[in-house]
Amino acid sequence: QVIIRAEQVEKYYAQPSENRIQVISPTDLSISEGEIVALLGPSGSGKSTLLRMLTGLSTPSAGQVFWHEKPVANADVNVAIVFQSFALFPWLTVVENVEAPLKARGLEASDRRKRALKMLDTVGLDGFQTAYPKELSGGMRQRVGFARALVVEPEVLFMDEPFSALDVLTAENLRSELLELWQKKTIPTRAIFIVTHNIEEAVLLADRIIVLGRNPGHVRTDFKVALAHPR
Ligand code: ADP
Ligand code: ADP
């Protein structure tokens, strides 16, 4: 079942001087229930731009994005994004960071706290509720990032280079934990969309890989990855 569908989306950015630059040329893509989709491409190829359009944070210059066949602007989208740089609030504790999106959605304090603590437990941060982000390692901070994204039970979990700021070993651990939680269906989301420039990461995580070419916005094809040992 298709959750998100992009139909011939394009993005141009205005340049101060001459022409507009095209960052995404007409692109079709979809994200369906139960799949992990990776968007792979070198830096500057338009990955973040495409992610922002899929989430409704940015408007395509042409074409449209649909969530359940409704234009994203009119759809009731529950967006959650995990960022490369964690983007935590430094003045809030771990549990307050995780509660923040629930507060924004108007949930009651006791309900927020309960859901935040449960999610912290899921991502392995039990006992770190009252710590501040600066007291945590990069890997732990990104666990908070995951908890904060997942606590809203997003239909699709978006991740923009979530492991790129971490050292190789930490990244590997977090990645395999995420995959394990996903496969055990312990994380409350129906699909995952991950932006990465790391081919290995895309192959290890994704059911399907979409590749952006080096020329900005040139979508190569919608590759199907054949694994030697299908999971
Ligand atoms: P990636 O995520 O693959 O690194 P981006 O989507 O961030 O790529 O950027 C693609 C290109 O578009 C880059 O050349 C970037 O500088 C440019 N770009 C991105 N956002 C904007 C913007 N808001 N205004 C102007 N140019 C932008
Ligand atoms: P909209 O479609 O609503 O105009 P954009 O797609 O322009 O929104 O998104 C603006 C985002 O792009 C902001 O988060 C801004 O920080 C980022 N941005 C602006 N200029 C650049 C750039 N040259 N390269 C990469 N990102 C950029």
To test the ligand 2 pocket, which listed residue (12, 51, 52, 53) has its Cβ within 8 A of the most ligand atoms? 52
Residue whose CA is at the smallest distance from ligand 1 atom 24: 13
Sheet of 191-196: strand order equals 80-83, 156-160, 191-196, 36-40, 208-212, 219-224
Q: Measured in whole angstroms, how far is the alpha carbon of residue 139 from the centre of its chain?
A: 17
To test the ligand 2 pocket, which listed residue (15, 53, 55, 57) has its Cβ within 8 A of the most ligand atoms? 57
Distance 109 CA to ligand 2 centre (A): 34
Q: Which helix (H) or strand (E) holds 189?
A: none
For residue 61, the ligand closest to its alpha carbon is 2
Determine contact, residues 77/156, Cβ cutoff 8 Å: no
State the helix-helix crossing angle for 138-150 and 94-104, rounded to 10 degrees. Answer: 20
For 111-119, what is the mean pLDDT?
A: 97
Rounded to whole angstroms, the Cα distance separating 12 from 61 reads 6
Residues lining ligand 1, Cβ inside 6 A: 13, 23, 41, 43-49, 216
Determine contact, residues 82/187, Cβ cutoff 8 Å: no
Burial (CB < 10 A; 0-12, 13-18, 19+), residue 91, is exposed
Q: What is the pLDDT of residues 149-198, one digit of tens each?
A: 999 999 999 999 999 999 999 999 999 999 999 999 999 999 999 999 99
Residue whose CA is at the smallest distance from ligand 1 atom 6: 46
Read off the pLDDT band of 20 (50, 70, 90): confident
For residue 50, the ligand closest to its alpha carbon is 1
Sheet of 21-32: strand order equals 21-32, 2-13, 62-67, 70-71
To test the ligand 1 pocket, which listed residue (49, 52, 196) has its Cβ within 8 A of the most ligand atoms? 49
For 216-228, what is the mean pLDDT?
A: 54
Q: What is the pLDDT of residues 39-91, one digit of tens each?
A: 998 888 899 999 999 999 999 999 999 999 999 999 989 999 999 999 999 99
Rounded to whole angstroms, the Cα distance separating 45 from 216 reads 4
What ipTM was estimated for this complex?
0.77
pLDDT at 229 over 90: no
